[in-house]
Amino acid sequence: YDQAAHAVLPTVYERTTAAALSHQAVNLGQGFPDQEGPQWLLDAAASAITESHIGPPNQYAPGTGLPALREAVAEDMLRRQGVSLDPGTSIMATTGATEGIAATILAFATAGSQVLCFEPHYDSYGACAALAGAELVGVPLTAEDFRPNLDAFAAAISDRTSLVLLNTPHNPTGTVFTAAELEQVVELAHRHGALIMCDEVYEQLILDPEQQHRSILSIPGASDIAVAVSSAGKSFSVTGWKVGWVMGAPALINQVRGVKQFLSFSSGPAFQWAVAQGLRDDQGYLSALRSELTEARDHLSAALDEVGLRPNSPGAGYFLLADISELTDLDDAAFCELLAAQVGVAAIPVSALIIADQFPRNHRLRRLVRFAFCKDRHSISEAAKRLQQRL
Ligand code: PMP
Ligand code: GLN
């Protein structure tokens, strides 16, 4: 485990939030909404703390999660994805998707093996692969439109690959993988005896009506080799609640459970209870949230374009990417420092989300900055104003 690479610094998200606070910058770095989740959901959690209808509300939840949550996840997966899961054996609650990702990687990435991901990737994948004693290998998404390059993926996967890490909808590009792309990954994983973990935390936040989220578990041939990870944090704007879950075949979930029980064991029953209510009936929240996110994306996108920071067109999620090449020769990290300190807008350099030493300094993935648009109108307007006046 490489301490220097993974353990010494706080994550890029925390460092960016600290920089935003110290410069009084608008924080478009760390991906958390600055509006609360819906009041009825907050009320459900608050009342669950003082009521015993969920079992002892302030003591350990069952290690695999409250049955009510697992049942609600199963119903939701059947309704939206046509995937039938046994809540007793195929779904396990975790302390956020973060713990689900860690437990899955620790369960399936054998020491000395390779773990494959697309680049850029969510930072915890590399840290957890290192904890497992495995090597993370990245296959860059295409430079033009951030789609998976399946020829490059086919060339990279081998019998040394223990685990493939997918993320759809993808952070930070907003790419939504198509069923055909997922099918090819499943086929290649089968051929090389690799398992798949698919991180689907942005599954409810599809902003482009032409696109559709497909869970890995809905892909033919995936059910015996793949687990999906999701979370309530983004869907209900409650990132601090840390209610996540892992889904898949009972034999795979059982292995992940074996690790998870020694990480957190379990977490907050009242939050799990409230999330179960939200999954059963979102009371129109998700469609309103998608409209707000779309409006914020378009507003920020136009403001970035106006100052020469060329944005991509994310089909989903919280983030957009801006290419800084036209505006500056600085590298992405130096540009983000300048942006926070002198312009008053905090963002994340994409070089923090790739295996940086595998890419030359002028590679397109190192000329990109990630902006979070999951922020209220005032924050987006203020950021737009500062970009226009100070850049
Ligand atoms: N995966 C991705 C791709 C994420 O962006 C995040 C954080 N937002 C997580 C996992 C972690 O999710 P959670 O907050 O539920 O632990
Ligand atoms: N997932 C969030 C992001 O991508 C950050 C989560 C965290 O701070 N660990 O910005």
pLDDT score of 53? 81
Ligand 1: list residues with CB < 6 Å: 31, 96-98, 122, 167, 171, 199, 201, 231, 233, 239, 242, 244
Same domain as 346, residue 241: no
Tokens coding 87: 């809540």
Domain that holds residue 121: 40-280
Does ipTM exceed 0.95?
yes
Do 113 and 85 have their domain in common?
yes
pLDDT tens digits for range 275-295: 999 999 999 999 999 999 999
CATH of the domain at 53: 3.40.640.10
Determine if ligand 2 sits within 6 Å of the CB of residue 123: no
Answer yes or no: is 235 within a domain: yes
Residues 69 and 158 in one domain: yes
**Distance from C-alpha of 278 to C-alpha of 251, rounded to nearest angstrom:** 28
Q: pTM of the prediction?
A: 0.97
Residue 234 and residue 354 in one domain: no
Task: Give me the pLDDT at residue 7, please.
Answer: 59
CA of 13 to the centre of ligand 2 (A): 6
Q: Which of 168, 171, 200, 370 to mutate to test the pocket of ligand 1 (most atoms within 8 A of CB)?
A: 171
Place 6 in a pLDDT band, splitting at 50, 70 and 90: low
Residue nearest to atom 2 of ligand 2 (CA): 31
DSSP states along 215-259: -GGGSTT-TTTEEEEEESTTTTT-GGG-EEEEEE-HHHHHHHHHH
Using CB atoms within 10 A of its CB, is residue 29 exposed (0-12), middle (13-18) or buried (19+)? Answer: buried
d(CA 144, CA 219): 26
Residue 121 domain flag:
yes
- pLDDT digit string, tens, across residues 222-261: 999 999 999 999 999 999 999 999 999 999 999 999 999 9
- 239 and 385 together in one domain: no
State the Cα–Cα distance between residues 16 and 119, nearest whole angstrom: 21
Please indicate, yes or no, whether residues 324 and 248 belong to a single structural domain of this protein: no
The answer on pLDDT for 360 being more than 70 is yes
pLDDT tens column, 113-138: 999 999 999 999 999 999 999 999 99
DSSP bridge partners of 112: none
Count structural domains, the chain: 2
Which amino acid residue places its CA nearest to atom 10 of ligand 2? Answer: 31
- Roughly what angle, to the nearest 10 degrees, separates helices 96-108 and 123-131? 40
Residues 148, 333: Cα–Cα separation, whole Å: 25
Average pLDDT, whole number, for the chain? 96
